[in-house]
Amino acid sequence: MRVLLVEDDDRVAEALLPALARRGLTVERLATGRGVLDRLTGVDVVLLDLGLPDIDGITLCRQIRAASDVAIIVVSARGEVDDRILGLHAGADDYLVKPYDVGELVARVHAVRRRRGDAVPGAGGGTAGVVEVGDVHIDLVRHQVIVAEEPITLSRKEFQVLALVVGAGGAVCTRERIIAEVWGRSWAGANRTLDVHVATLRTKLGRPALVETVRGVGYRLTADGQAGAG
């Protein structure tokens, strides 16, 4: 996923760029509003700071929305309710107040893209919203999973975990993102809870290799879902 970061604070950008790259995002940064409208082609999400040196961020937000349907997340220290309302009315899809957790920011990036109905990259063929990996059919719209022509019953959170891993299209889906999107928060035992859900998910699918553990990072979908099947 390609992200355009519009942030004038060098310290914020220097910390954020590698953090987003580690989570699988391709990020370009601009320190001013100048040139933003020329860089929107191919961009999935714009992270827009409002305190820019050359143009008011709200004005730029309106210009971006007039020029493109790209997803916009305002990332600003302006945290008053009126500021958030103004940003959303200017065309932003979401508004995150500084300081923030990077995991939450990444979760919001994926969420706004998903809400806009972007196609989910899959490992195989299938109709829109359906991912096929071997004999595993995952319908992301109807929340249905079929393995070897047999329907599999998953809990809501188990399906959400699977959908996030599938939606990453073979890239690593980080633990932070899964926990943020499925549970909405993190806590001391969050990683253990996620591990249990993944273990149960693998057992129900009967395809242990379908969801691969990337130690210390997260999980990813493998093309060979049959390997290690029970």
State the pLDDT confidence band at 129, using cuts at 50, 70 and 90: low
Across residues 83-102, what is the average pLDDT? 89
The pLDDT, as a whole number, for residue 116 is 64
The pLDDT, as a whole number, for residue 69 is 86
Across residues 67-85, what is the average pLDDT? 89
pLDDT digits (tens, 9 = 90+) for 188-203: 899 999 999 999 999 9
State the pLDDT confidence band at 117, using cuts at 50, 70 and 90: low
Q: Is residue 209 pLDDT above 60, yes or no?
A: yes
Q: Tell me the Ramachandran region of residue 169: left when phi exceeds 0, alpha when psi lies from -120 to 50, beta otherwise.
A: left
